[in-house]
Structure 1
């Protein structure tokens, strides 16, 4: 029996809701790799059931410089004492440990950049911290041979900055999820945001927009740094009857929730290049579920929505303007009929089965 090549995949999250990494691990397993996914264990982490192996580390720190230092030190030790033919680092915050381990053990290293890390909104206004991440990036990225990212714009920026070619593997769901094409009647409309609750996602504006929207509920599915602030905003604005938080959901729970929505929001603000070039999981999850979308006027998302004509593009984040865009998207029956029809073609093109061909091309040389 042929020995399976060992691949260790690492992330800084707790593995529960990372759909992109789950799809990548599943595809690598189907290729014939023995996959081990490494992350961290939080106090409220849900149990995991995966076809591939997982390992979650208990850490002393949960955020800030101490967390990143502890995580990478622990991960480096873990990688040094585990057999691996290939290391897959997800994002810059796991790259240091993987880079050092690959040099010491002479292992193959692949880098998956889920975003333009040094341009995330959390680093805007923190020049010293940003310079540290940029310095780390500049020392490692020019020496990498196997890299991919989530969209053409980020790939082009990295190539121009470091001379390293990045391939593109977008965050597209599998074709196993069934599209729902039926309009609900005589029910409260559901406006859905799913994903991280961080600054710059347009969530404060979406909440305030609910003052001008009747007959609908805003459902916010996810967790993140500003969840507490958003919950306090809902209380302050007295919108508890119009806004509901689900907390963080598993991949399976989201798959059940999303098709029941009438409109999916992806209204990131233009806060740095990372959000400007955003092409998030949730956009493709909405599309796969047959849910019309309302997005920001940002180039990567706009290109998808305009190509397939499956939703509306908001020019403003002002709550009243946003409310008008939402109401139009919810209630214009002619547009919604057209969008629903167009989902059929979009669903044929935008599948993980098509996208993973690039991924398999990258990893096939290691088999």
Structure 2
């Protein structure tokens, strides 16, 4: 199929100052040369043709999204795909949520330059460029195409946008694609971004992937990042906390154990106090024992002071006891001041 036929097929409008088209699950677009096509040859093939058009072109399609997508803000004004928006933050209103969204790619110079995810009720302004809308893009095809692009040497901002776009698809293939992106066959930055969205967007199945990586991945720097990701898991949150506690006790890397301590205190609060106190007593690494004391200091009062006083009174390591005393000195709990006063009065 030639580029000319590709651009001429199903042309709805020629370029006009205020051209507007709109059908079910198709955006309203103004200031554009709009073409509507069927993606019967597959999304990758359509994008490859777009790369050879010779001038910048926006290519878009609709995807089903899980959990309801929202950009976080909304406005009655058009989305400016080219250039800066003419409207201020004061024009924004409360955002709505939708069961589908638009993926928009700017293709120019033989490559994809930019990705946008837009709400389906937003009017788009293409700035006079060609705009190709693809009907019939299968969610699985969309996921695999975007994931393949993310694995390439893309600019960081584009790559991060690609991984996010994969994560919001309402299809199990999205979880599989993110799991593959999080595997050790990819660069660390790609892996970290994929793991973040597995935890944040993919529910129980995403957690299973994160848990497996936390237990078996050999890269300590990556496992350290997973400790934060586990705090984002909402389904099942209790299992995520259990995994954090396991990492704090059992991970082979002291740095990972330290980070797990901090995040388990943030996520678990009072229920992990005993685990942190045990680590302050028994972890083989002094820095990890000291970090456990810091994690205890991050608990809400009065629990933080209760635990720190116990560590300062009973821990067998003088370095750890000194650390507990230091953090008690930062506390506003009257019991902390009372304990420190008695400590100073001892002969």
**The TM-score by the shorter chain falls in which range?**
under 0.3
Q: Which has the larger radius of gyration?
A: 2
Q: Which has the higher contact order (CA 8 A, sep 6+)?
A: 1
The structure whose residues are more often helix, as a share, is 2
TM-score of the superposed pair, with normalisation by structure 2:
0.24
TM-score of the superposed pair, with normalisation by structure 1:
0.23
